[in-house]
């Protein structure tokens, strides 16, 4: 038995308005006047001076606005890296990702590909990255994905949806400023919050569970219950707590694994481009056989907040399309083993997965 030697984010700053300290944090990390900081920012903030006016650009520093409408792709990483290398006099001083899970994952992947040859899809898998990434900072503007603490960056490639899992993936610095989440739309808030909730359920119900994961998972689940079921919480308290729930949920799965909902959600995302948070919700609606209590509480949360989940998205799919989703889902073996144990292949069949997808 060999235990994981899990790298944690070495520096984190938490608090309302802590984003204002970013310039000071970065100043001491500048390598030279020819080595710019590159800010990858969700394009919903384009033309919104509230975020951009607080970033002081010096020398060749640059903001690149990136759309998070779709899940991050390996080709998107390759294009960003090429653009950054071509336009920078020297290797950049750092990459700063500002946005949701998509922007955070892109920032992590770009910082890796700047120091590693080849293209992003070469590194999809476990521990394939050879050289340390350049300095990278993650600043979430929506809470739930856990990307701010994870050692992976989930990318959709030409052949699969899989993370770049490596010791070089985690951020060097994270800025947790709950104020940055104030304008998140309600539906999006719920879907991304449920990503965190599902991380807790899948971790706590999994066979990989251990005291490390459990301690973080239980705290995150407790926070989720408060946030999504307790009326007395103020908006600010709720946002502060969700940011920490996301952190703890991410820490929980870091030392265990996710499960059935994530495996099936990756299938939906790969074939239909369904975003991760909403994909988890679509799947979780139908997983009462696997997570009875977790699904019941999820439904209570969904009803309480009047959220509608898309239905019938698999209604018109062909057999071969179902086959693609099933192959993507079943390919994620550690997720199934965590959810159902070593003999998961005896319990879960292609037919079962198809029947589940057909309900979605």
In angstroms, what is the minimal distance from the CB of 24 to Zn ion?
32
- Residue (40 or 194) nearer to Zn ion, CB: 194
- Residue (241 or 262) nearer to Zn ion, CB: 262
In angstroms, what is the minimal distance from the CB of 145 to Zn ion?
6
282: helix, strand or coil: helix
In angstroms, what is the minimal distance from the CB of 57 to Zn ion?
33
In angstroms, what is the minimal distance from the CB of 101 to Zn ion?
8
- Residue (93 or 257) nearer to Zn ion, CB: 257
Q: Under the criterion CB under 5 A, does residue 148 sit at the interface with Zn ion? A: no
Distance CA 160, CA 188 (A): 25
- Site residues for Zn ion, 216-235, by CB under 5 A, read none
- Residue (81 or 162) nearer to Zn ion, CB: 162
Distance CA 71, CA 75 (A): 12
Distance CA 356, CA 198 (A): 18
> Can you spell out the DSSP letters for 215-277?
HHHHHHHHHHHHHHH-TT--HHHHHHHHHHHHHHHHHHHHTS---HHHHHHHHHHHHH---HH
In angstroms, what is the minimal distance from the CB of 199 to Zn ion?
6
- Residue (200 or 330) nearer to Zn ion, CB: 200
Q: In what side-by-side order are the strands of the sheet with 161-165?
A: 125-126, 161-165, 154-156
Strand (E) or helix (H) holding 82? helix 74-87
Q: Which residue is nearest to Zn ion (CB)?
A: 195
- Site residues for Zn ion, 159-218, by CB under 5 A, read 195
Query: Are the beta carbons of 305 and 228 closer than 8 angstroms?
Result: yes
Rule CB under 5 A: which residues touch Zn ion? Answer: 195
């Amino acid at each position: 038995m060999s235990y994981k030697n899990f790298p944690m984010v070495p520096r984190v700053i938490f608090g309302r308005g802590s984003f204002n300290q970013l310039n000071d944090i970065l100043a001491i990390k500048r390598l030279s006047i020819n080595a710019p900081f590159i800010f990858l920012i969700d394009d919903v903030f384009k033309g919104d001076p509230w975020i951009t006016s607080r970033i002081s650009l010096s020398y060749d520093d640059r903001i690149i606005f990136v759309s998070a409408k779709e899940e991050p792709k390996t080709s998107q990483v390759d294009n960003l890296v090429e653009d950054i290398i071509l336009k920078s006099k020297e290797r950049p001083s750092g990459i700063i990702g500002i946005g949701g899970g998509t922007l955070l994952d892109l920032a992590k992947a770009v910082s890796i590909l700047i120091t590693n040859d080849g293209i992003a899809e070469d590194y999809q898998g476990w521990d394939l990255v050879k050289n340390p990434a350049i300095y990278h900072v993650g600043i979430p503007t929506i809470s739930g994905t856990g990307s701010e603490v994870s050692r992976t960056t989930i990318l959709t490639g030409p052949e699969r949806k899989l993370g770049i899992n490596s010791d070089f993936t985690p951020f060097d610095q994270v800025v947790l400023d709950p104020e940055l989440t104030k304008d998140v739309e309600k539906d999006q808030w719920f879907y991304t919050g449920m990503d965190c909730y599902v991380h807790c359920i899948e971790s706590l119900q999994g066979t990989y569970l251990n005291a490390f994961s459990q301690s973080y998972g239980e705290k995150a689940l407790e926070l989720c219950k408060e946030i999504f079921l307790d009326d007395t919480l103020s908006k600010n308290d709720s946002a502060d707590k969700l940011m920490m729930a996301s952190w703890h949920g991410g820490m929980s799965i870091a030392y265990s694994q996710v499960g059935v909902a994530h495996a099936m959600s990756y299938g939906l995302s790969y074939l239909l481009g369904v975003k991760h948070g909403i994909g988890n919700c679509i799947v979780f609606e139908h997983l009462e056989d696997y997570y009875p209590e977790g699904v019941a509480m999820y439904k209570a949360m969904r009803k309480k907040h009047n959220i509608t989940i898309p239905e019938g998205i698999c209604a018109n799919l062909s057999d071969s399309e179902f086959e693609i989703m099933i192959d993507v889902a079943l390919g994620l073996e550690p997720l199934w083993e965590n959810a159902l144990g070593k003999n998961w292949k005896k319990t879960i069949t292609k037919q079962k997965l198809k029947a589940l997808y057909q309900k979605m």
